[in-house]
Structure 1
Amino acid sequence: MVSVEKIDVLVPNLKRRLSGVTATVVRLVPIQAQSIAVAAVAPSLPEHIPQVSFWSLLTMRRSGPSGWRVWHARRNVEMVVGLLLRDVLRKRLKLVFTSASQRHHTGFTRTLIAKMDAVISTSEKTAAYLERPSDVIYHGIDNEQFSPPSDRADIRSRLGLPVEGALIGCFGRIRAQKGTDLFVESAIELCRAFEGLTAIVIGRATQKDEGFLEGLKRKVAAEGLEGRIRFLEEVPVWEMPDWYRVLDVYVAPQRWEGFGLTPLEAMACGVPVVASDVGAFRELIAEGRTGFVVEPGSAEALRAAVAGLLSDPARLSEFGAAARGHVETHFDIRDEARKLIEIYRAQIGSGTR
């Protein structure tokens, strides 16, 4: 823990479960801390992340070391806490909110957003749903942490995966919204078409989705494919790069998505992506060069796109190389961190409310 009195920017992550927001905070804060006094406020993050305790917010001095502090929220509850700190406890805070949602907000959320000092959107598509101007800042990837493998076979062996044969994957929360069933359905057909193909699903199902997961496992078992379509436990953010590195194709089958970071993580590791046309995927993937974006809700569309890549090894290799270059050029996390810091500094120096 660091002293809150030394911090200019507070980044809350008020959720214990692993999520896209958690991944964003874990990756961004250490990089931002190299240029500005920033710390996370969270119940459970790796020790190397600069952090302050939640309770220290109640007793911190009204002003920060540079005058105004910034409170950068990414969830409704975090906007509410920021408003309580500012308007009830009278802390000198500038409130910033990042929106990743691609749907019309509830009246409550619109009210919260209206009280923010600055709003950021993670894509042009997201910005279109807001009723106030926002700065569009795409998420970026740590291209040092997420990078192509030097020895894919060695990593596969270490992770207990087949060294030979094609490998496809789908990572994230297991539920219908995330399209896990579409991936499994397409993987069943792909296993029939490609001898030696293995498909892996990494993630967890919440209690209400446990029946959904069990149904998928039963479907795979009925096809006799338990050894080729594998369901693995959720992996910590910092262990994910190797799981991407072992893949030939990454599949993002979501029916709905806010932004969707996994295609960028996969491409940074030199892995082509097949994704549904939701979230920011069409803005992230270079169609016909780093992967394909297909109609949402269609297992057949996913299957056909993946099959087209797996059946052409030369093209698969070209897509992988292009994917890495695409992310390096357009989606580096240091660019995201720099743009956010510019907004923070503008708020810190914007004077009295």
Structure 2
Amino acid sequence: MPDPKPRLLVLTSTFPRWRDDVEPPFVFELSRRLTDAFDITVLTPRAPGSLECETLDGLHVIRFPYFIRRWENLATHGGGILNRLRANPLNYLLVPPFLIGQTWALIRVLRRSHWDLIHAHWLIPQGIVALIARRLARHPVPSVCTSHGGDLFALRGRLFRAMKRAVLRASARISVVSAAMRDEVLALGIDAEKVEVIPMGVDLHKRFTPDPRVAREANALLFVGRLVEKKGVDLLLQALPQVLQAYPDTHLTIAGGGPLEPELRLLADASGIGDHVDFRGMVAQSDLPDLYRRATLFVAPFRVAGSGDQEGFPLVPLEAIGCGCPLVCGEIVAFGEVIRHDREAILIPPDDHAALAKAVIALLGDPARRDRLAADARARCRESFDWDSIAIRYAGLLKNALPPSDVKPT
């Protein structure tokens, strides 16, 4: 009989509610690629319409309840927990039952079975929940914490700083998705040897690939993502009138949802560009490649939000790159780590809608430059950020965090 695989418990607040959900799937995509090395159970919040227990692609999924089912939407379909709170102060009423529900669910899971390792996605809330639950359950299982950006950059003040430091110090290993985030972690006084930079991955070999049979539309702009401040969609809408002066048939598709959608719709109508903007809403992962393959340009005017929140890693632009779509993006630190200005994309200063309009107009008028940028970007990113190579790096990180007796020879 072969040795049993180490048992890994994954904690997350962002996870598909069902197969091919519109919710971001990156935790699911990573976890399912680790099932060859680990026996994995995912603990995630329940949502309206979801099952409480199921198996997805070899993952055992447990969804914990925390309120009346129809109102269990704090972590889904609205830009994530932080943006749900900013959008509606009444959502703060869900925070205590959410934290209690996840902590109690984790205590029960820890007491029922033996676990070799916990992998907590986000410092807060999952990291702090893991810290508290392990102590209350008197379970010494080691933990690895992955920060994705907003939990590290946006949560400010002494209390949050102390919470983040406590989680990081209690973690056997820490991963962040960009070098800029590593610097932020080290500034909290964390041992550099514990911290590793590993981005999330993209399926650049099967799903997000070019298709020569699909023709790109003329003057078609595309944005995909949550409609929250750090994405900068308002800047894109402010830039569009200037673009329309140069190319009157330009059309913008916005695929995503979030708390700023009503405000952005009003801005489009007030600017007289409503007929040129299609708010598509949340789009299933299976439908995204077709959008990327048909767009002339993918535009992502990333910025640093007033709260300090910013992209930890440009996952969606990498999907566009995989499909051969040229990019115009805001030049935040994390994006500059992935691609270079005028070599794989056009990077513009954040919060500068005039520069954004100028860059879009220039690329719409230069097909050869668009093709060069798209080809160079795909060549640079295809091997470095495909899920297969990223999953190998995460598997190594997690195995290094296992107690010596649980590490099996490879």
Q: Is the 8 A contact 1:25 1:40 kept in 2?
A: no
Deviation of the 1:318 alpha carbon: 1.6
Q: Is the 8 A contact 1:179 1:253 kept in 2?
A: yes
TM superposition shift of 1:37? 2.1
Which of 213, 229, 236 does residue 151 from structure 1 map onto?
213
Q: How far 1:175 sits from its partner (Å)? A: 3.2
Q: Distance in 1 between matches of 2:225 and 2:339?
A: 18
- Note closer, same or farther for the CA distance 1:68–1:17 as it changes in structure 2 (3 Å cut): closer
- Whether 1:242 and 2:290 are equivalent positions in the alignment is yes
- Give the AA of the match of 1:111: A
Secondary structure of the corresponding residue to residue 279 of structure 2? strand
Worse overlay, 46-55 or 313-322: 46-55
**How far, CA to CA, are the matches of 1:299 and 1:228 in structure 2?**
17
Aligned: 1:218 with 2:269: yes
Q: Secondary structure at the match of 1:53?
A: strand
State how far apart, in whole Å, the 1-side matches of 2:37 and 2:398 are: 11
**Does structure 2 conserve the Cα–Cα contact (< 8 Å) formed by 1:21 and 1:74?**
no
Aligned to 2:198: 137
| C-alpha separation in 2, matches of 1:121 and 1:176 | 22
Aligned to 2:340: 286
Q: Aligned partners of 1:47, 1:9: CA distance in 2, in Å?
A: 15
Is residue 13–residue 41 contact of structure 1 (8 Å, CA) maintained in 2?
Answer: yes
**Equivalent residue number for residue 81 of structure 1:** 129
Q: After TM superposition, give the deviation of residue 289 of structure 1 in Å.
A: 1.9
Say which SS state the counterpart of residue 147 (structure 1) adopts: coil
State the shift of 1:13 in Å: 2.0
**Offset from partner CA, 1:287-306 (integer Å, 9 cap, x none):** 21210222110111111222
Change (3 A) 1:138 1:6: closer
Q: Match for residue 39 of structure 2?
A: 37
Matched to 1:14, the amino acid is: S
The share of aligned pairs that are identical, in percent, is: 24
Residue 157 (structure 1) aligns with: none
**Contact 2:202-2:386 at 8 Å conserved across structures:** yes
Deviation for aligned residue 1:70: 2.8
Paired residue for 1:201?
Answer: 254
Instruction: Report if the CA contact (8 A) 1:69-1:92 is conserved.
Output: no
How far off is 1:226 after superposition? 2.8
Secondary structure of 2:200 counterpart: coil
The code of the aligned residue for 1:35 comes to A
1:233 aligns with 2:281: yes
Q: Is the 8 A contact 1:9 1:72 kept in 2?
A: no
> Could you tell me how far apart the structure 2 residues matched to 1:177 and 1:341 are?
31
* Long gaps (5+) in structure 2: 65-104, 305-309
Displacement of 1:53: 1.5
- Tell me how large the CA RMSD over aligned residues is: 2.9
Contact 1:245–1:269 (Cα < 8 Å) also in 2: yes
Counterpart of 2:61 (choices 52, 66, 82) is 52
- The Cα shift of 1:106 comes to 2.5
Instruction: Report if aligned partners of 2:300, 2:330 keep a CA contact under 8 Å in 1.
Output: yes
Q: 1:290-329 to 2 correspondence within 5 Å?
A: 290-329=344-383
Residue type matched to 1:273 in 2? L
Match of 1:13 in 2: 12
Distance 1:253 1:314, change over 3 A: same
What stretches of structure 1 of length at least 5 have no aligned partner? Answer: 154-162
Native 8 Å contact 1:70 1:344 kept in 2 = no
How far apart are the structure 2 equivalents of 1:7 and 1:53? 18
Q: Which amino acid aligns with 1:217?
A: A
Deviates more, 1:87-96 or 1:10-19: 10-19
Aligned length: 332
Q: Which moved more, 1:269-278 or 1:94-103?
A: 94-103
User: Per-residue deviation at 1:322?
Assistant: 1.6
Q: Cα gap change, 1:239/1:265 in structure 2, threshold over 3 Å: closer, same or farther?
A: same
C-alpha change, 1:149 and 1:15, in structure 2 (3 Å) is same
| 125, 128, 137: which one aligns with 2:183 | 128
The more displaced of 209-218 and 142-151 is 209-218
Q: Secondary structure at the match of 1:234?
A: coil
Q: Residues 123 and 164 of structure 2 are in contact (CA less than 8 Å); yes or no, is this contact kept in structure 1?
A: no
TM-score computed with the length of structure 1 as normaliser: 0.84
Aligned residue in 2 for 1:175: 228
Distance 1:69 1:175, change over 3 A: closer
Q: Give, in whole Å, the separation in 2 of the partners of 1:60 and 1:200.
A: 45
1:160 corresponding residue in structure 2: none
C-alpha distance in 1 between matches for 2:119 and 2:390: 17
Structure 2 CA distance, aligned partners of 1:113 and 1:8?
22
SS at match of 2:278: strand
